[in-house]
Structure formats: structure tokens, C-alpha cells
A and B are shown apart, each in its own frame.
Chain A
Amino acid sequence: MTGLSLPAIRGRVAFVFEEVDFDVDQIIGVKNIKLRDPAELASVAMQSYDPQFAQQVKQGDVLVGATNFGYGHPHYPPMIAMRHLGISAVIAESFSPGYWRGEIAMGFAQIACPGVLQAVRRWDEIEIDWSQHQLVNHTQHTALPFEVYSQADREMLAAGGIMGYLKHLRTKDSA
């Protein structure tokens, strides 16, 4: 996809979700799942995991997850909250397809990186090297390969989500 590149990702590991088959709705609590305002969602996020999360997280930070991250019946609000707080990507051992599709369509980077739970600790500084397909841990001076995107996923992410992607396809087709 000419003219579009994947977003630069460099930041700290703001949280590690170690639970397998993690249900992302737990991030805001199911009772808050119908909230729509990003700021309000952000204010309820992570309360049962780390009440100080919102104060500690910085723009560009990432989340790390275990195997089959996003399993269950994932809704969009938890990650709307996370993006509002500055989270730039989720890096997990592997993802549940429904969650994956939903977030890639939102233009939110999801990176499948087997071994990531062992390779990072909370607050490590990490970077995604798109050209080498590596997760670089600047704190521990290590690197770990991640899985390459399908063409459609890569283009959608580079275009910032489904809307940008479809508009870009139209421009390309009519060019």
C-alpha cells in the first residue's frame, strides 16, 4: 500500500495481563460496558487491576497479554478507554480472532508475539521494529520476533482502520 506505513510504536509496558483467554471486558468491568464517552471509560478502566493505572500510563505505552487474548465476547469500550489513556498497542502471546478483527478495524495495533510474557516485565521500554519483525526490549537489551500480518491486516492498520483502508482502496482504484 503505497504512501502508508505502520505506526511507530515505542513505549513502556504499562501492564501485563497474565491470564490465558483474557476477557477484555474485565478491563472496565461489564457493568460499564454500555458507557460511550472515552474519558468516562478511561476513568473506570483498570480499577480492579491497578487503581493508579491512569496516573502512571503515558502516551505510547503498550499492554502485554497472554495466549488467546480477547477471548469470550469482546466489546469495543475497553480498548476505547485504553487508547484514550495513550496505549498504542497490545502485544500478546496470541489473540482471539474476533477481538483481533475488531481492534484492527479500529486501527489499533495488535501484535502476536509468542514468548512475550517471558521477554518483558512491567515498565520495560519496548519498541516495535516493523522492518525486522522484532519486538525490541530496550531495558533488557533483547529482541523477539513477532508474527507477520496478513496483507489485509497490514494495510488496514497502516490506513488507521477500516474507514481509512476502504477510502484508500477507492483512491487507489480510481487513480
Chain B
Amino acid sequence: MGLTMVEKILARTSGSARVRAGDNIQAKPDFVVAYDFPGYTDVIFQQMKNDFGITHVAEPERFALFIDHMVPAITTQEEDLHQNTRDWGAANQVPVYERKGIGHQVAAELGYATPGALVVHFDGHISQLGTFGTLALGVRRHLLEAFVNDHIRLPVPHTTRIDLVGEMPHGVMARDVFHHIVRVLGAASCRFQVLEFGGEAVQRMGIDARQTLTCLAMFTGAISAIIAPDDITLPYAKARARLDIEPVYSDANAVYAARHTIDISGLQPVVVVPPSPANTRDLSEHLGLPVQVGYLGSCASGRIEDLRAAAQVLRGRQVHPGFQLHVVPTSQEIMRQAAEEGLLTDLIAAGAFVSSPSCDYCFGRIGVMTAGQRAVSTGTLNVKGRMGSTDSEIYIVNAMAVAAAAIEGRIADPRDYL
């Protein structure tokens, strides 16, 4: 029987000729990445030194740190954390990328999404490097193992194959497609597995859309997601790749835990209603619901495709009086492109509040809501208190629907503005 991409990547990184799903292995990640966050990086640095006597990492080129949360700092404690990260990076000769954007996106821009590579982070949204055929796992506190030892111990995960077919309908984006998958398969459908996306609809998707799909894998219970590199992703990834590794592809007779084919041609825009990412509904069921805040950004959305879509809706129109529309491009590279294309001008002219890249709007550090307020958001999550008061609400929608709601001050159908 054949092998999945995941099995091939874990065979190489564990120095084995062949591994199968379920095997217990020791793999050496090609890259160990993290953003600085209290309780994670600061603790890891401390434990390495105090508990394990490690003063320097042996292979600094395998490590990368990002400063993307708490940017810019608003307290001295936050800046202390960042300074601690910079100092550790300098002492270990590990690069610290700061103010370049959300790390999961910047990691791809800087070549850590090398096709065929294994990457670990504590944060699960790193799964989006799977867009480029990279296996990227978010392992929470187990990340300490990758800082202390060369190898990490893990069971080889099973893979579920999801083939997307059909044309993407007007007004529908990758964001809708992903949440539709959660609705069809269920929030527990792929627990502890890796999603492998394929099919004609994925082949037609650009890089941005694929990053959205793979970023959100965790909400199906999956631990990551991956897509076979192709003519769309390979030129991007190869030009930036930090390692010379042959891309891998699943064999035609690979063994999957499950295979699903989902036709997206009849899909309508969706909304994920609070307080759980499991709650996908048709947007049409919630039209007219008053909203006061809009957030367009995050590691899941906020890329050039999203900004173009929002600008298309908002061009020549105005944000509803009193509505707070926050637009936060995912990276500096994306923001610059948006500026060059005139998208930022369109968005600003419409009344959007445009900020430089940061994770901070997504997790309620800035732009927070008070009790009773309601947001439409392309952020990653809609759980209680995520963007401020535990008595505020978050409705997740695609970028066009954020823009449409911003115009009307209520949940609106973006197709009316296209």
C-alpha cells in the first residue's frame, strides 16, 4: 500500500525508510518556530537554562521567533517580554522577526514553509504552512521538547483526504468553504488526524485561499492540514525555501482514515455564530442582525484576496455611521501590495480604520468590545470574550460580508454589493 505525504515527511525526519500512521516515532523538526507570548517563550527560555542547563541551541538556523502579539507594546511588561525574546535570539543567534506581520504568514514569506519540511510551533494555526506541502504541527507546551532535544516523540497521525469539487460560487470565499466543511463533517470528525485537501476546486484556489483552509484545520479536530504542492504554490515556496528538500506527494494508493468529496458549487456565504467555531449556519438566516464592529484581518484571513474583496464591496461607499471597521493586513508584504494596488485608499476612503499587521485585534487586546456589542469578524475564533467583554458576540463571516455589514450596520448579503 502507498503512503501519505504526512507519512513520507515523518519517515524522512525520523530517519526511517518507511513509517505508517499509528507508529510511535522520534522525528527531528526542520524548523522550530514560535511567537513570543507570556507563559510560552519566556518560560521555555527559562526552563532550558535553569532545568536543562542549555545556554545555546545547537543549530540556530532551525529556530525562528516572531514578535506579532502585543505589537506595539502598551505596557512595559509587554516590551520586557519582547526585549527578553530579542536578547535570547541574539544570544542564540536565532532570528527574531518583528513588525513584519503575523508570524504564521511571515513564516511562509520567509521560506520556513519549505515543501516537504516538518515544522513545530506551540500554536495550532501554524497548520497553514501545509498550503505549501509542509507538515506544520501546533503542539502547545510540548514545544519545550523541540527546544530541549533535537527530536520530538509523536505518533504518526492518520490522514483524512478531502476533495473539493465544483466552481466556487459568486460571493463565496475559502472562509465559507472551510466552515462548510466543519458543518458537513463535524467539529470532531478528524480528531488527531491531518487533513489533506485536494480536488479540482482546491487546484483552482490561489495561495491565499489555501492558507485560509489549512489555517483553520483545528476546528475539525485535526492537528494539521496539507496540500500537495503544485504550479501555484511551488514557484512561491521554492523561491523562498530555506532547505533543499524534495517536495513529497501522497501515493495514489495511500491509505487514508477517510475520504470525503464535497461539492462547493451550491454553497452560499456562511456565518459561524457564537460561541463556538462548530456553529456554521447560512448567512441568509442572520441577515439584518445589528452589528457595531467589523474586523477584517488575522492569520486566517486578511490577505490580499480578502482586502481586494472588501475593497470591491466598499469602493465608492461609506461605512455605516458609528460602525467600527478595523482592517488589519496579515503582513507588511501584503499591506504594501494593498497600498500599491490602491486598496488601502479605497478602504480608508470608505471609512475603514486601517492598522499595521498585528495579532492584537483577533484576541481582544485592542479594539475591544463592551457588553452588548456584536462583531462580524474574519478572526480565527468566536468564543466568549475573545474580542473583549464576555457579554459581546462574534459572528465569523468572509471578508466581503464584513465589508457589507460595515456598510449597513447589520449582517448583510455581500452579493448585493458585487
The number of chain A residues with a CB under 8 A from chain B is 33
- A105 to B141 CA separation, bound complex (whole angstroms): 6
A72 and B149 contact, CB distance less than 8 A: no
Residues of B with C-beta under 8 A to A30:
383-385, 390
Residues of A with C-beta under 8 A to B153:
151-152, 155
The answer, among B51, B140, B386, for a CB contact under 8 Å with A167, is: B51
- A167 to B53 CA separation, bound complex (whole angstroms): 11
How does the 8 Å CB contact mask read for B143-167 relative to A, with 1 for contact and 0 for none? 0110011000111000000000000
- Is A53 close to B, CB under 8 A? no
- Is B139 close to A, CB under 8 A? yes
Instruction: Return B274 CB to nearest CB of chain A, in Å.
Output: 11
- Is B16 close to A, CB under 8 A? no
The answer, among B139, B155, B276, for a CB contact under 8 Å with A71, is: B276
- Is A25 close to B, CB under 8 A? yes
Residues of B with C-beta under 8 A to A96:
188, 191, 221
B383 and A72 contact, CB distance less than 8 A: yes
> For window 157-175 of chain A, which residues contact chain B by CB distance below 8 Å?
162-163, 165-167, 169-170
Binding site secondary structure of chain B? loop
B145 and A73 contact, CB distance less than 8 A: no
CB nearest neighbor in B for A163 = B51
How does the 8 Å CB contact mask read for A82-126 relative to B, with 1 for contact and 0 for none? 000000000000111110011001100000000000000000000
- Is B138 close to A, CB under 8 A? yes
The answer, among A67, A68, A98, for a CB contact under 8 Å with B138, is: A98
- Is A31 close to B, CB under 8 A? yes
> For window 185-216 of chain B, which residues contact chain A by CB distance below 8 Å?
187-188, 191-192
Residues of B with C-beta under 8 A to A150:
24, 154-155
Instruction: Return A98 CB to nearest CB of chain B, in Å.
Output: 6
The answer, among A68, A71, A73, A98, for a CB contact under 8 Å with B386, is: A73
CB nearest neighbor in A for B156 = A150
The answer, among B124, B138, B278, for a CB contact under 8 Å with A21, is: B278
- A33 to B363 CA separation, bound complex (whole angstroms): 13
B385 and A101 contact, CB distance less than 8 A: no
- A54 to B50 CA separation, bound complex (whole angstroms): 36
The answer, among B24, B124, B149, for a CB contact under 8 Å with A169, is: B149
A71 and B278 contact, CB distance less than 8 A: yes
Q: Which of A68, A71, A95 has the most CB of B within 10 A?
A: A71
Q: Which of B138, B141, B187, B278 has the most CB of A within 10 A?
A: B141
A162-B145, A163-B51, A167-B51 in contact; A31/B277 too (CB < 8 A)? no
Q: Which of A20, A30, A102, A106 has the most CB of B within 10 A?
A: A30
- A21 to B188 CA separation, bound complex (whole angstroms): 8
- Is A29 close to B, CB under 8 A? yes
- A170 to B145 CA separation, bound complex (whole angstroms): 11
Instruction: Return B46 CB to nearest CB of chain A, in Å.
Output: 12
CB nearest neighbor in B for A104 = B142
- Is B275 close to A, CB under 8 A? yes
Residues of B with C-beta under 8 A to A97:
191-192, 218, 221-223
- Is A129 close to B, CB under 8 A? no
B191 and A152 contact, CB distance less than 8 A: no
A166 and B385 contact, CB distance less than 8 A: no
A72-B276, A101-B140 in contact; A95/B191 too (CB < 8 A)? yes
A98-B124, A152-B153, A163-B51 in contact; A25/B144 too (CB < 8 A)? no
CB nearest neighbor in A for B192 = A97
- Is B102 close to A, CB under 8 A? no
- Is B233 close to A, CB under 8 A? no
Instruction: Return B193 CB to nearest CB of chain A, in Å.
Output: 9
B154 and A72 contact, CB distance less than 8 A: no
A23 and B390 contact, CB distance less than 8 A: no
CB nearest neighbor in B for A69 = B188
Instruction: Return A47 CB to nearest CB of chain B, in Å.
Output: 14
- Is B47 close to A, CB under 8 A? yes
Instruction: Return A35 CB to nearest CB of chain B, in Å.
Output: 13
B187 and A71 contact, CB distance less than 8 A: yes
- A114 to B37 CA separation, bound complex (whole angstroms): 36
CB nearest neighbor in A for B187 = A21
A23 and B191 contact, CB distance less than 8 A: no
Residues of B with C-beta under 8 A to A152:
24, 153-155
A21 and B155 contact, CB distance less than 8 A: no
B385 and A31 contact, CB distance less than 8 A: yes
A166 and B148 contact, CB distance less than 8 A: yes
- A169 to B154 CA separation, bound complex (whole angstroms): 14
A162 and B144 contact, CB distance less than 8 A: yes
Give 9 new A-B contacts, CB below 8 A, not counting A67-B188, A102-B141: A30-B384, A68-B191, A71-B221, A71-B278, A95-B191, A96-B221, A97-B223, A102-B140, A105-B142
CB<8 Å pairs between A and B, sample of 9: A21-B276, A21-B278, A25-B384, A71-B278, A101-B139, A150-B24, A162-B145, A166-B149, A169-B149
